[in-house]
Amino acid sequence: MRKLLLIIIAVVILSSIFLLYYNNSPKIIVSSLAGKINAGAKELIYRVNLFGILPVADAIFKVDEMQNYNGQQVYHLSATANSLKWFAKMFNAHAILDSYVDTDTHDPILFRQKTVIANEKVINKEVYYDQKNGIMTLNNIRRQIPPHTQDPLSLLFNTMHMDFDKIEEIEMNINTNQKNYLAKGIKQSRDISINKKAYKLVFLDVDIKRREKSPYHQSKISIVFCRDKENIPILIKVFASGAFLNAKLIDIR
């Protein structure tokens, strides 16, 4: 009995190590998408893994063509996330995010978020940004913001359009709630070869902290981009509140 238990534990540990490597290997991700990685990306489909091992949700990030919003040209960014069927039996949730981004400045004008938990609890958020006057409005409450304040979708969109040949560090403001946060990161580059074809990767490690320098409410995000016509985020790792999630790119449309 003890021997069987040790075998089971060993199998679980080895399986976890394999899944951790498989879900966090940029080379494996690029290899699985080699036929699509050069295509113009309009929809990016991700598998979200708890602790980098356990698949719990699917997420889709979408960039629409330019639209007219209140007489202003904007990009409409959207993202949806849904619990996988097996995980929904324990925790069923889905989220819808929308961001309307100025086509000239790439700054957000409006950010919306709707989260539904267990088909009962609904959380809605709507944030308006007055970038010119440094004001954001959330639930009719006005707050001061630094120049070029971003939401999560516009921040990702901006990094996708950066020229990392000329940029070594990034520093961006973010706020969708109450406090202003600073996202500060350093990039590293590496080339990989798959079937004799070279792919350029950029690794961006970002620390997110409150601008008031509070020791609490800190998080880390690591993004791996595959560079083509734009920087395609193939792997996103989030470390926050003692938890680790990763989002692995599994399809491009």
Q: What is the pLDDT of residues 176-204, one digit of tens each?
A: 887 899 999 999 999 999 888 899 999 99
Contact 120, 127 (CB under 8 A): no
Q: How far apart are CA 125 and CA 137, in angstroms?
A: 11
Task: Give pLDDT, residue 218.
Answer: 82
H-helix segments, the chain? 2-23, 26-32, 85-88, 152-160
Task: Give pLDDT, residue 19.
Answer: 75
240 against 162, higher pLDDT:
162
Evaluate if residue 54 carries a pLDDT over 70. yes
Task: Give pLDDT, residue 38.
Answer: 65
Q: Count CA atoms within 13 Å of residue 68 on its CB side.
A: 2
129's tokens: 């940004």
Q: How far apart are CA 243 and CA 238, in angstroms?
A: 8
85's tokens: 């069927």
Closest CA to 245 of 218, 225, 222, 226: 222
Reported as a pLDDT band with limits 50, 70 and 90, residue 170 is: very high
